[in-house]
Structures are given as structure tokens and as C-alpha cells.
Structure 1
Amino acid sequence: MMMRTLLVIALLANAAPAAWRAGAAKVKITPSEPIFLAGYAGRTKPSEGVLQDIWIKAAAFQDGAGPVTVITTSDLVGLDTGTIEEVQRRVLARHGVPRERILFNYSHNHSCPVTGQVLHLYYNLSPEQSAAVARYTARLHDWYVEAISGAIGALAPAELSFEQGLAGFAVNRRRARPGGRRLPGPVDHDVPVMAVRSGDRLRAILFGYSCHATALSGNEINGDYPGYAQQELETAYPDAVALFVMGCGGDANPLPRVMNSTGGEAVGLASMYGKILAAAVRQVLGGKMKTVGGPLRVAYGVADLPFRKAPSRETLLARRKSLTGLPLRFNDYLLKILERDGKLEEKHPYPVHVWRFGEDLTFIGLTGETVADYCLRFKGEYGWDNTWVAGYNNELLSYIPSLRVLREGGYEGTDGMAEYGRPAPYAPAVEEVIAHKVAELAEELGLKPAAAAGRER
């Protein structure tokens, strides 16, 4: 039986009751047996040891006697709909927290176990290896509920504050590829930070960054640079739970890096990037932060992302003759769907969350591997100084390209869709479909994008 560590931080107030109640908890999810690691298709054997423990963490917020809202973070590459639905079902039954008030964020760590159906086409697992994944996934459901329950159970008076820093190690990786230096390569270097305090005691730190967790690529369990950053912060602030919230890092890598290694230089770089990020957070925490008031209002909706025209059965059969390895596996997966359903999907559901903390902070939660344009666009539309945009929530469904990336093509725009089992690249409307849903939800909370407000004036 895997040893589990549950750390619950009760946010106890020393003075008069605050408007906010908050709680945080973390649960260790380091596997107890060798297991295939996620994120890279080139791995050929299960994990070999533990470089660093990995975690699920949760923070719960309640404005006065209002409903509870929860954000979870994890050192996982992603989640599938099966895990999300099962955890949500249990949390709703136990705590009454509805879907719109729970967010599942993950660091997109490429040195964590394979779980459920996440990137399942990558891995050609034996029956024994698949059984290990199934065992771990079942435990994962329990651990998520344990972390969320711990955070809710720790709800107590608290004060919230927010500010942003900067960290510079994220590089637009599309420029790092052959022929890519001509590309504009936008990056979001902002480090949003929310502090949860009770009097003069810091009890939880939520912080974000927009960059792939791919500094390490060997075969040892670890949390990559977000894991090192959280470790640094929890060492510096031993009463606090540090939660890393992944931003829109779909087209960003930590560079330089050493591939196919967890050796000294690779680990040194991952640790250094974690320390840089933690230093940025500490600077924010040590400076003047803006008080965040209530109420906490939320809006949730699902957009339908359109695909381009899917290949026909005849096209897939013709392609099959020249394919081997992973491309053949991707191709045959689409053929199986055609045989089962008679067609390939034309659109895919895309959950969007918008949370508004009083008049002080807007939090936008997007689904999948969003590229930097989404962070930059929505902060530009809803406020550079008081908008936090997080990608990598909910189902890890695919890369989510902007119109710019679609036009440029390449891995994040078109080529990377097959590994997710998607039938074709997204249609050019994808960015505007997402922006329309964000605007629709924001309007429910009394917000309008800057461009729309300008047109009305």
C-alpha cells in the first residue's frame, strides 16, 4: 500500500474574523512501484527510482457563508475526462461543490506516471504495465478527494492578496526549431501570485508561470522545475502550502535544457529554473500586494471547438501503407473510431471557467495546451494588472493553437493533433470561439473585454 502524506494547513486568524475563509492541503502521490512515465513517447521501460516526490494540492475559498470554490493543482502531465468526472462526482456527493466551482489544473510535468487515458496513444504498454497504470489511477481518484476534503476541512478566516512578478527562463520553443527563428515567438513571463494569510502568518501561496515542465526527460519520478519551485517556497515558508498553477505554456520550453537525461547538468538546470521562479514569487510576497475582496462569483460554460475536415476512411487506409510506429498507431485509432461510430468528430467540447474575486481579480481557466497568445490576449482585454489566465485545466485534450499558430503550422498548430487522437487540426475559428465563450462568461460577472467596451463608447 502506497504511503500517503496529507498536510493540512488551517488558516487561523489572530484578529477579527475576515470576510474570507480559506484552507489548503496536499497529498503525496509518488508511486510505490515502477510505472511508465508520461509525456514522452520515446520511453521504453518503467520508471527507475524517485528524484523528487510529487503531489496533488488543493486550495478552498469561501466568501463569508457563500459556496465553497476549489482549485486543485498537481505534478501530473494532465487528466482525462474519466478521472475528472469521478472526482467531481465524489466531491459533489461529499461536499456539495458543483462543477463550476472546482478547477483541475496540472503542471504538465513530463516525469510523472501515466494515468488513465491521458496521451494513451503514446504508450505501447504490456498487460502488466497497463495493470500498474490502472492501480495508480484508481489511487489517484482517492488522493484527489483526500486533498480537496483536506482543504475544505481546513477552511478558516483568512486574508487574500495578489500581485505579479516576472521570470525569464521560458522561451518560445517554436523559434528553437530548425527554420523557426523567423517566427515572432511571443512568451508570457508574468508570475501571478496569490497569498493567503491569517494575520501575519502566510498559510498558502498560489503562483503561476507559462512554460512546459520539460527541463527533465529521464526515467526518474520528479516534479520538474515547478516541483523544485514549490519545494523552495515550502522550505522558505514552512507553514504554507505552495500551489503551482500552469499558465498558457503550450509553445514555451525552459531553455537551455539537456534532453534524455536526469543527470547532473539536467537536474541542475531544472533546480535552477525552480529557484528562479521561487525567487520571483518571494519578491512579490516581500513587496506590496493588493488586497483581494469578495464576493467570489463564478461562471462556467462549454464551447465547441471546430475541426477542419476529417480524413475519409479511404484516405486513412491509403496512408496506412506507408506508416510505421506511432504514426501507424494514430492512424489506426481513427480507423477504429470510424468503424465504431461511422464518423469522426467534427467538434470537441471545451470547458471554460471565469472567476471574479470582488472587483480586484479575474481568474480565467482554459482547457488543454493553450499557447501564449491566449494569456496575452485575455490579460490585454480584461486587465494586465488584475487578470490571471491559466491553461492546462480539465481534460488534456490537445494543443490549443491561436490563429497565429494555426497559420504558421508546425507541431503546436497542426502536426501535434494526431497524438491526441484528434481527426484533424482545428478550424481557423478556434481562437474566436474560445474568446467568445470567455466574453460570454465574463459578461455574466459584469465584465466586458476592452475592445468591446471601446466600441460601445
Structure 2
Amino acid sequence: MKFSLGKVDITPDKPIFMHGFGDRSHKSEGVLEPIYMKAALLQANQTLLIVTIDALGSDRSFIAGIKEALRERFGFAPDEVLINFSHTHHSVYLTGVDPELRKGGYSMGQSYWAENEQELDYAEDEAYFAFIRDELLRTVSSCFDSLCDGELQIARGTSDFAVSRRRPTPEGGVSWQPYYEADIDKDLFVLKLTDTAGSLKGIIYSYGCHTTAMGSDNYLISNDFAGTTSAVLEEAYPGSIAMFLQGCAGELKPLHSAEEDRFIACDAVRTGKAGAYLAKDVITVMEQGEFTKVNCRFRTELRDPLLYTEQTQASFYERMVEDPKYNDFYRNAALRTIDAMANGTIKERVPFYISVWQLDEETSLIAMEGEVSTEYSLLLKRIFGNGKMIVIGYTNGVFSYVPTRKMIGEGGYEAECNFFFGLRGPFVPEIEDIIVGQVAQALHRRA
């Protein structure tokens, strides 16, 4: 096989309104560390592209625009490109130039959380999209020019870096507290790319955890712990590029941000220590893991089923607007939902990308859109996995949380906040059957 990697600094050159926390009240105040876009080009019987972006996520306007540009310039089909977001809450949420595919409700140019869409101007977002698109095209072109023969290897380790934030209550619900005993996916997969001389060129590591060691009081642009992790790896292995593939982390937070029965907002020093801790775990896999060669014979499929919501009534959101315990972010989202119900634009179903990549007969990568629960990673591996199945979320867009049937029954933030994203209500429990069924069909077709 042949491969190449690239990396580009995408740090905004002026203050922006960071997405990720609803109680932020003004634009960024500087840069803690640069944020990056990285690319890995893999070529065998098929040419595949993995892109990682240090951002909260994106809507379909961004994904469609980027993938169309890649198709026009290089001939990539939509299923041959994975765009994975680190989900840092200290960066931006990306959109493109197609307003019909835009999620709305946020602009990097805003100075406050708007009450309605008409208050938002997307000029800065569209300019940033053009910058990202052009830099990616330049980077991928450079990757094609610098392809080298080499080898892809995979190893599986574990890490206790993450902890669940859904502690069960006696009433059958959940509270936002550390739940140390939770069954979560602790797999830490490492893919390494070496040239024919044995020189290490790329480290692609995948683990599921919200990049929220720091809290909403941080107004410095950053990739949170993942920025430090990749920087430590690139320092430990000179000449390499380290890429973080965000896993299924819907309800997972860094263990370093947990103190007994509560979560805290880490400062920059503690966040750096957290990132170094995860880097140590990756290095352990690099040095002691049992790597096996991936006999690259690629097969890919992209599916796009619909996920459906409950028929929540407007009265539910009207009560929320009147409740003083909710901040402006919640109230404005509730008001937008009420208006959308009234004018008939409310969304009761949402398309959901599922990418299935078979790297060889044994090694597979399942990549899903949205903030996917760790329970899906465990479930899919239990049903279909063989120890070489990587399951990730936050890929090809981040629209909403994707809870399991159990989580929907329990309630809690991840199951109940769909109105933030223009959806009428929580998802119906049957979305679990849809997702598992779609993966099953794709794997069967790939067999």
C-alpha cells in the first residue's frame, strides 16, 4: 500500500464565539494552543482519505461542501472520505455555504446566543469554510504528490482515561455525576504508518472521551486534552503526525475532571496533564502492543437512514421558557422550537450517516455521525466485533446526541436535549434497531 499524511494550522486569526457551552457570553480572548486539520491518504485497491478537524463538529452544509470539493478535484466518492471531529468545546461549529443544509442557531461571528435565526450573519462562517476547504485541497494535493510505499499496522490497548457522566438514581433516572462503575468502551486503538525503511510517519489513535477537561470559563481557543496528547506523541516520535479519531463519547468525560461525586472545570495545567496521561497510554501501546499488519484491501459503504423523534407538544417548551432555572441558551432553543412547530418547519426525523470501512478481511472501521453513546460501541463490538473493529462517532457531521434504547428510557441530558438541534423531541427507542440493522446490512454486503 501507499500512504501520505498532512497537517495544517486552522486557528482563527481573530476572536470568535466558541461553541460547546451554552453559558458562554462573549467571544474568545486568545489562543491557548493552535488547532489543526490533519489528513491521512491511504491507497491500495481503493484510495481512502481520513480527515481530522479540531472543532466541535459540523452540519451537513459543511460536509456536503467539503466532499463535493474533494470529488471535483480528486474524484473521491462520498464513502471514501471520513471527516472526524475532535469535538473540542473550545473551537467552532462548522457550516458551509448551502443554507438548506445548515443547522443554524449559531455563528462563529455572533457575540451572544441569538433568540432567533434572523439575528445571525454567517459571513464569517462561510469565509472560514472556504479557508478550510482550500487548505484541505492543498493538503490532499500535497499528499498525492508525496505518496510513499509502506505498511499499515494495528494494535489494541486499553485506557481508563474516561468516565461516564450518567450516574443512575434510585428512581430509575440518571444524574450528571461521575459513574465510575459504568460499563464503557475502554478500547484504545492505535494505527501506525511506516515507510519501507521502517520509519514511523503516522500515528492514528482512537479513543472515546468528550474533549471537555476545561469548562465554559475557558475563553482561549484549544483542542483541550487531545491537543496535548497529539503534541506529546509528535514530540516522542519525531517526523510523525499524530491524528486523534474521536470515538463514541456521548456520555464520557475525562477522569481528570472528576472529583468524587462531581465534575470540575480543569485549568490549562490540569488539562495538559490529562492530555499527557492519554499520550502515555498511547505510547504504551506503541512500545508494548501486539501490532499486526493490515493487509490493505479496502471496501467501503456509506449509509444514510432516518432517525425519528417523539411528538413532543409545544406546551412542554412553553413551560421551559417560563422556568427561571434555565439560561438564555435553553430558553432561546425552546423559543425556536415553539416557532418551528407553529410554522411547520420543526424536524421530526433526521438523516444519519453510517460509514463502514473494511480495511482487510479482519479489520473494520464503523464511523457514525453525531454524539454517539459508548453503549453503541460496546453493542456493535459485542455483536459484530472480532477484536479489530474500531467504532467511532463525530464523523461526517455532528448534529445531535445518539442515545441507546436504555438511555432514552432513563432520560437525562443526552436523551432529552434534541430541541437544541431543531428536533421536535427525544428520539424514539427504535433508533437503536435502525442503527444496528444498518450496520448489519452493510457488513453483510461487504462480506
Q: State the partner residue of 1:239.
A: 239
Matched, 1:325 2:323: no
Q: 2:268 matched to 1:271?
A: no
Report % sequence identity: 27
What is the TM-score with the length of structure 2 in the denominator? 0.87
Per mean C-alpha deviation after superposition, the further-off stretch among 199-208 and 284-293 is 284-293
Offset of 1:260 from its aligned partner?
Answer: 8.4
* Mapped pair 1:216 → 2:214: yes
What residue identity is the alignment partner of 1:306? Answer: Y
* 1:32 correspondence with 2:13: yes
Aligned residue identity for 1:361: T
Match of 1:10 in 2: none
Residue 174 of structure 1 aligns to a residue in which SS?
strand
Question: 29, 37, 56: which one pairs with 2:37?
Answer: 56
- What amino acid maps onto 1:333 in structure 2? R
- Residues 339 and 185 from structure 1, CA distance in 2 versus in 1: closer, same or farther, beyond 3 angstroms? same
- What do the CA deviations read for 1:179-202 (whole angstroms, capped 9, x no partner)? 867896322111101011113100
- After TM superposition, the structure 1 = structure 2 runs for residues 86-235 of structure 1, keeping only pairs within 5 Å, are 86-116=65-95, 120=105, 124=113, 131-175=123-167, 178=175, 185-198=182-195, 199-217=197-215, 218-235=218-235
Task: Describe the SS at the equivalent of 1:120.
Answer: coil
Q: SS at 2:408's partner residue?
A: helix
Equivalent in the alignment of 1:359:
361
Secondary structure of the 2:219 match is coil
2:23 to 13, 20, 42: 42
- In structure 1, the residue matched to 2:98 is none
Q: Shift of residue 114 of structure 1?
A: 4.3
In structure 2, relative to structure 1, the CA distance for the partners of 1:322 and 1:181 (3 Å cut) is closer
Contact 2:106 2:120 in 1 (8 A): no
* Offset at residue 144 of structure 1 (A): 3.1
How far apart are residue 318 of structure 1 and its match? 7.0
Contact kept in structure 2, 1:73 and 1:107, CA below 8 Å: yes
Alignment of 1:396-411 (within 5 A): 396-411=398-413
For residues 280-291 of structure 1, the aligned pairs below 5 Å read 280-287=281-288, 288-291=290-293
C-alpha deviations, 1:390-410, integer Å up to 9, x for none?
111122110000111111110
SS in 1 for 2:42: strand
SS at match of 2:85: coil
Q: Which residue of 2 aligns with 1:376?
A: 378
> Conserved in 1, the CA contact under 8 Å of 2:113 and 2:328?
no
Quick check: 2:6–2:143 contact (8 Å CA) kept in 1? yes
Paired residues of 2:29 and 2:219 also in contact (CA < 8 A): yes
Once the 2 structures are TM-superposed, how far is the Cα of residue 347 of structure 1 from its aligned partner? 1.6
- Residue deviations 1:111-169, cap 9 Å, x none? 11343356735952697986544433332232333333333333221101001112212
2:74 paired with 1:80:
no
**Number of the residue aligned with 2:300:** 298
Partner of 2:429: 428
Contact 1:36 1:114 in 2 (8 A): no
CA drift at 1:317: 5.8
C-alpha distance in 1 between matches for 2:277 and 2:317: 47
Query: Secondary structure in 2 aligned to 1:173?
Result: strand
The AA in structure 1 aligned to 2:105 is H
Contact 1:39 1:111 in 2 (8 A): yes
Code of the aligned partner of 1:331: A
Partner of 1:337: 340
Q: Secondary structure at the match of 1:140?
A: helix
Query: What amino acid maps onto 2:333 in structure 1?
Result: F
Kindly report the root-mean-square deviation, in angstroms, between the aligned alpha carbons of the 2 structures.
Answer: 2.6
The 1-side partners of 2:113 and 2:246 are apart by 28
Once the two structures are TM-superposed, the CA of residue 72 in structure 1 deviates from its matched residue by: 0.7
Task: Report the alpha carbon displacement of residue 355 of structure 1 after superposing the two structures with TM.
Answer: 0.6
Q: Residues of 2 paired with 1:436 and 1:46: CA distance?
A: 43
The corresponding residue for 2:171 is none
Q: Determine the C-alpha separation between the residues in 2 that align with 1:128 and 1:396.
A: 20
In structure 2, the residue matched to 1:394 is: 396
Q: Is the CA contact 1:48–1:219 (under 8 Å) kept in the aligned structure 2? A: yes
Shift of 1:283: 1.8
In structure 2, the CA distance between the partners of 1:74 and 1:343, relative to structure 1 (3 Å rule), is closer
Q: Against the structure 1 CA distance between its residues 179 and 130, is the aligned structure 2 distance closer, same or farther, given a 3 Å change threshold?
A: closer
CA distance in 2 between partners of 1:372 and 1:274 (Å): 20
For 2:257, the aligned partner's letter is: R
- Looking at structure 1, the residues matched to 189 and 313 of structure 2 have their Cα atoms a distance apart, in angstroms, of 42
TM-score normalised per structure 1: 0.85
Moved more, 330-339 or 67-76: 330-339
- Flag the 1:174–1:362 CA change in 2: closer, same or farther, 3 A: same
**319-328 vs 355-364, which moves further:** 319-328
* 2-structure distance, mates of 1:182, 1:245: 24
